[in-house]
Amino acid sequence: MNQFIYKPGEHPDLPPPSNTVGPIAWVRANLLSSPTNIVLSVLSIWFLYEIIPATLEWAFLDAAFTGESRDECRAKAGGACWAFIGERFNLFTYGFYPADERWRIDLTFFLLCLALIPVLWDRCPLRKFGLYFACAFPFIAGWLLLGGFGLTPVDTDEFGGFMLTLVIGVTGISFSLPIGILLALGRQSNLPIVRVFSVGFIEFFRGVPLITLLFVASTMLNYFLPKGTTFDLLLRVLIMVTLFASAYMAEVIRGGLQALPRGQYEAADAMGLKYWTSMRLIILPQALKISIPGIVNTFIGLYKDTTLVIIIGLLDPLGVGRASLADTKWTGLSNEMYLFVAIFFFISCFGMSRYSLYLEKKLATGHER
């Protein structure tokens, strides 16, 4: 390239040298850039070579997909026995919900997906109506799942499996965000009472293990509440999980609020915006955007923590699985069960994580030119 001489101010933009772009350059830069990197690349490839074929063999090639019991599976193949999951699939999904009423869960799930579209996708057609529907959804879902008003009532004792996970997870997620926002703003408030209450609430719920709260919910509340009050166990769990997650959420959002330059607050004040208007239009949109990774982190944590309800006797997927393993027909298939539950949780959590990345990218304005 040096053979060309340009006059000052007339140097054109030239393409980069060919050995710095393209797939070979990528391999060289990312896999073979240094001796350590070469060793790590070779080790990783060897590790994948060892693990992938064996896993495929166990999970698919040498697996039994049909059969009436573990012994039948074993007779067919030496690998996984997916017949177990197949037979118990409805139990995993619906818990002990009456078989004739399971369409209500299917419908609720369908409506949940429908309600999520306008919430998660800002260019969805008729978004305004979609959001109204999303606000009405919790009431519709409650009616469909619990029954009454024309539907056969179903007791919450019969909730279980993935459906229970979704009920607790979705409720916790959708209530902990607004409560967390209010607590975070309360913690920064100029009003001492509001501030002390927020700090006390956050510190208490963050300082106590969730299991303790769940125990309190299941047993101790009976002592505090007036005799004879019945208070549904699932409802108590929902409240405890939500409050617990709200405390974490509040701290995540406080981080976002504090990361904003003071100038943003001052500019909003100087314009004469009222407190709630400036929070809604200026401070929170930015603070929440900064907090997205932390918020989603809290969501994912909450979602996985729903498995803790097993210790107070609610049957989440793990509870259903453990109960199923106790069946003499299917003993010893814990690998299959745990893998299946793990895949369910992984898909949900991975989905949330991907959505948060998409959101971060979409909301980026101008920091990357």
Residues forming the site for another protein (CB under 8 A)? 261, 263-264, 266-267, 269-274, 277, 281-282, 285-286, 289, 363, 365-367, 369
**C-beta closer to another protein: residue 71 or 269:** 269
Smallest separation (angstroms) from another protein to the CB of 81: 53
**C-beta closer to another protein: residue 2 or 190:** 190
Smallest separation (angstroms) from another protein to the CB of 121: 19
**C-beta closer to another protein: residue 68 or 269:** 269
Q: Do 244 and 213 touch, CB atoms closer than 8 A?
A: yes
Assigned token pair, 211: 């299991």
Taking the C-alpha atoms of residue 155 and residue 39, their distance in angstroms, rounded to an integer, is 59
Smallest separation (angstroms) from another protein to the CB of 292: 13
What are the Cα distances from residue 134, in Å, to 24, 49, 114, 289, 368?
A: 50, 47, 8, 22, 34
Smallest separation (angstroms) from another protein to the CB of 285: 5
Q: Give the count of beta carbons closer than 10 Å to the beta carbon of residue 295.
A: 25
**C-beta closer to another protein: residue 61 or 267:** 267
Smallest separation (angstroms) from another protein to the CB of 173: 23
Assigned token pair, 254: 């406080």
Taking the C-alpha atoms of residue 144 and residue 332, their distance in angstroms, rounded to an integer, is 37
**C-beta closer to another protein: residue 229 or 365:** 365
CA end-to-end distance (rounded Å), the chain: 30
**C-beta closer to another protein: residue 354 or 362:** 362
**C-beta closer to another protein: residue 227 or 367:** 367
Smallest separation (angstroms) from another protein to the CB of 210: 34
**C-beta closer to another protein: residue 74 or 289:** 289
Smallest separation (angstroms) from another protein to the CB of 11: 22
Smallest separation (angstroms) from another protein to the CB of 307: 37
Smallest separation (angstroms) from another protein to the CB of 267: 4
**C-beta closer to another protein: residue 227 or 369:** 369
